[in-house]
């Protein structure tokens, strides 16, 4: 099996695919509203620090495990440790792939559905945010609507994974990522050229330190994790198709820069527009589906820009979903000897079945809750707030303490000899962050998710 394992055709192919995984709903939907809610520039500042001290070190660690072993998360830990515990950590990554994709694809389905809403001109009469919100509620209560777009999105995701690393994922990313960037820049230019855009820029860029509290810092830490697709082996799996000739360090840095720049541009595009038309910026999670359609209704050229916006959102979600399914498929291909096509179809279908109760959580199953959460929220919470930080914490511990740091350094040096031999400082810093800062901070995020921190402070 190892002999014929695929590789990326080029380094840029890998960077774009990994950036595609990182850049997703997290950047375009979540980042702008949390930045807005927690004090704009001050939050962005804290977020950048989180990216640097936990995002970058863990991203390097994940890609490195993948590139060293050329395996999926389970196979990778098997190759490096043999211990059941660590293989279990890889297994948790594969399970997270199933779980996250199952609800992520539901929201992504709305994004696709909204392209059509935009095309048929349904946003035109939304002169208030509440009309747009009502329309959203109507749509998600409509079972055929929600299931139809969820299914369509899953089929699209499966198509790229089915076609394989070079022909599917790499080629798709090379086409979709530049389109995403161009669309986003167009929307940003539209935003900043609107009258009153400066108020949006001020909201996003004026630091309000009074809003920075423990909660804001924890949100920034947690988001740094989700936005970089860390903690479940997506970057590990993409790294496993990387050639040893390419530098893990420079790849990780480029992925992080792309992800961060895109989140910032999305923030500018969204807030300049929201403020220019005088809508409420702190609409929270509903910002994209409640507020944005009303923003376009009021904006000159809004018909056209609304279509671009939802195409952008769908592409961002698709390239992330592909990486989630790839983790699952890689496991069945590497470790159980399935062929890629069969693994994609069967596992895509399993994810689809798992996603059904999530899709139905907005309508027929809305009243079924556990701990006050419906099925959708439960799966999201379990995967994003527990499994990802737990996985990231354990990956940092594994690379920092278990693998053997000499071996780690020898592997890391491959493909980055120049940088490595001439900048010992970079390596020492990475080691320090990975061994000490990252695990502690990630652990705190985990305690926060579990409610332990709130218990202590209240
Ligand atoms: N990084 C993606 C986003 O920002 C989400 C994701 C998480 C993708 C984990 C893959 C793995 O939307």
Judge whether 2 lies within some domain: no
Q: What is the pTM of this model?
A: 0.95
Token match 């195409």: residue?
Answer: 311
Nearest residue by C-alpha to atom 6 in ligand 1: 229
Q: Is 242 helix (H, G, I), strand (E, B) or coil?
A: coil
Say how many Å lie between the CA of residue 44 and the centre of ligand 1: 19
Which of 19, 229, 267, 391 has most ligand 1 atoms within 8 Å of CB, for mutation? 229
Are 102 and 378 in contact by the 8 Å Cβ rule? The answer is no
Two tokens, residue 196: 């009153």
Separation of CA 421 and ligand 1 centre (Å): 33
Considering the domain boundaries, does residue 5 fall inside one? no
The answer to the question of residue 217 being in a domain is: yes
C-alpha separations of 56 from 13, 76, 207, 245 in Å: 20, 20, 24, 20
User: Considering only CA atoms, which residue is closest to atom 5 of ligand 1?
Assistant: 229
Q: What is the biggest distance separating any 2 CA atoms in the chain, rounded to whole angstroms?
A: 64
Residue located nearest, by CA, to atom 9 of ligand 1: 229
The verdict on residue 3 lying in a domain is no
- How far apart are the C-alpha atoms of 153 and 150, rounded to whole Å? 5
Q: Could you give the 3-state DSSP secondary structure of residue 164?
A: coil
> Ligand 1: which residues within 6 Å by Cβ?
21-22, 24-27, 100, 226-227, 229, 232, 234, 320, 323-324
SS3 of 209, please?
helix
CA distance 213 to 38: 9
CA angle, corner 175, sides to 1 and 171, nearest 5? 15
Contact 37, 281 (CB under 8 A): no
Domain assignment present for 292:
yes
Q: Tell me the residue length of the chain.
A: 458
Residue nearest to atom 10 of ligand 1 (CA): 229
Ligand 1 atom at minimum distance from 24 CA: 12
Please report, for the domain that includes residue 161, its CATH number. 1.10.4160
For ligand 1, atom 7, the nearest C-alpha belongs to 229
Q: How many domains does one find in the chain?
A: 1
**Matching residue, tokens 């349904």:** 122
Is 326 strand, coil or helix? helix
Range of the domain at 91: 11-457
Closest ligand 1 atom to 317 CA: 12
1 occurs within a structural domain = no
**In a domain? residue 6:** no
Render each residue's pLDDT in the chain as its tens digit; 458 residues. 455 789 999 999 999 999 999 999 999 988 988 888 888 889 999 999 999 999 999 999 999 999 999 999 999 999 999 899 999 999 999 999 999 999 999 999 999 999 999 999 999 888 777 888 899 999 999 999 999 999 999 999 999 999 999 999 999 999 999 999 999 999 999 999 999 999 999 988 888 899 888 888 888 988 998 999 999 999 999 999 999 999 999 999 999 999 999 999 999 999 999 999 888 776 666 788 888 898 999 888 999 999 999 999 999 999 999 999 999 999 999 999 999 999 999 999 999 999 999 999 999 998 898 888 899 999 988 998 899 999 999 999 999 999 999 999 999 999 999 888 898 898 999 999 999 999 999 999 889 888 877 777 66
CA distance 243 to 251: 12
**CA-based nearest residue to 184, from 8, 316, 63:** 316
Burial of 330 (0-12, 13-18, 19+ CB in 10 A): buried
Taking the CA of residue 230 as reference, the ligand 1 atom at the shortest distance is: 9
415/449 Cα distance (integer angstroms): 38
In a domain, 221, yes or no: yes
Report d(CA 388, CA 395) in Å as an integer: 10
Report which ligand 1 atom has the smallest distance to the Cα of 231. 9
């Amino acid at each position: 099996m190892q002999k014929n394992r695929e590789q990326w055709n080029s380094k840029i192919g890998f960077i774009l695919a990994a950036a595609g995984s990182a850049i997703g709903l997290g950047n375009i939907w979540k980042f702008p509203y949390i930045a807005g809610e927690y004090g704009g520039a001050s939050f962005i500042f804290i977020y950048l620090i989180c990216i640097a001290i936990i995002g970058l070190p863990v991203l390097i660690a994940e890609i490195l495990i993948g590139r060293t072993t050329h395996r999926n998360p389970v196979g990778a830990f098997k190759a490096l440790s043999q211990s059941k515990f660590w293989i279990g950590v890889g297994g948790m990554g594969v399970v997270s792939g199933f779980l996250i994709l199952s609800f992520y694809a539901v929201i992504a389905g709305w994004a696709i559905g909204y392209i059509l809403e935009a095309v048929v001109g349904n946003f035109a009469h939304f002169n208030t945010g509440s009309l747009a919100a009502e329309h959203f509620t109507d749509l998600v209560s409509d079972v055929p609507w929600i299931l139809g777009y969820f299914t369509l999105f899953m089929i699209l995701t499966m198509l790229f994974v089915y076609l394989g690393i070079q022909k599917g994922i790499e080629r798709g990313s090379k086409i979709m990522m530049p389109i995403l960037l161009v669309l986003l820049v167009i929307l940003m230019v539209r935003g900043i050229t609107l009258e009153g855009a400066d108020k949006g820029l001020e909201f996003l860029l004026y630091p309000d330190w009074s809003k920075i509290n423990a909660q804001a810092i924890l949100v920034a830490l947690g988001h740094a994790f989700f936005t970089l697709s860390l903690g479940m082996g997506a970057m590990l799996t993409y790294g496993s198709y990387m050639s040893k000739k390419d530098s893990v360090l420079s790849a990780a840095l480029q992925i992080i820069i792309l992800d961060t720049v895109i989140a910032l541009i999305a923030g500018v595009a969204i807030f300049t527009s929201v403020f220019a038309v005088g809508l409420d910026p702190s609409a929270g999670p509903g910002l994209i589906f409640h507020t944005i359609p009303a923003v376009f209704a009021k904006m000159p050229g809004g018909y056209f820009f609304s279509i671009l916006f939802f195409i952008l959102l769908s592409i961002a979600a698709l390239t992330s979903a592909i990486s989630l399914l790839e983790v699952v498929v890689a496991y069945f291909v590497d470790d159980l000897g399935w062929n890629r096509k069969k693994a994609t179809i069967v596992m895509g279908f399993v994810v689809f079945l798992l996603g059904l109760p999530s899709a139905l959580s907005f309508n027929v199953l809305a009243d079924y809750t556990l701990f006050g959460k419906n099925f959708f929220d439960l799966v999201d919470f379990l995967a994003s707030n527990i499994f990802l930080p737990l996985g990231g914490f354990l990956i940092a511990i594994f690379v920092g303490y278990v693998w053997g740091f000499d071996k780690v350094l020898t592997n890391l040096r491959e493909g980055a000899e120049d940088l490595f031999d001439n900048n010992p400082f970079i390596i020492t810093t990475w080691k320090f962050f990975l061994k000490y800062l990252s695990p502690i901070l990630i652990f705190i995020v985990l305690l926060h998710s579990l409610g332990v921190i709130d218990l202590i402070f209240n």
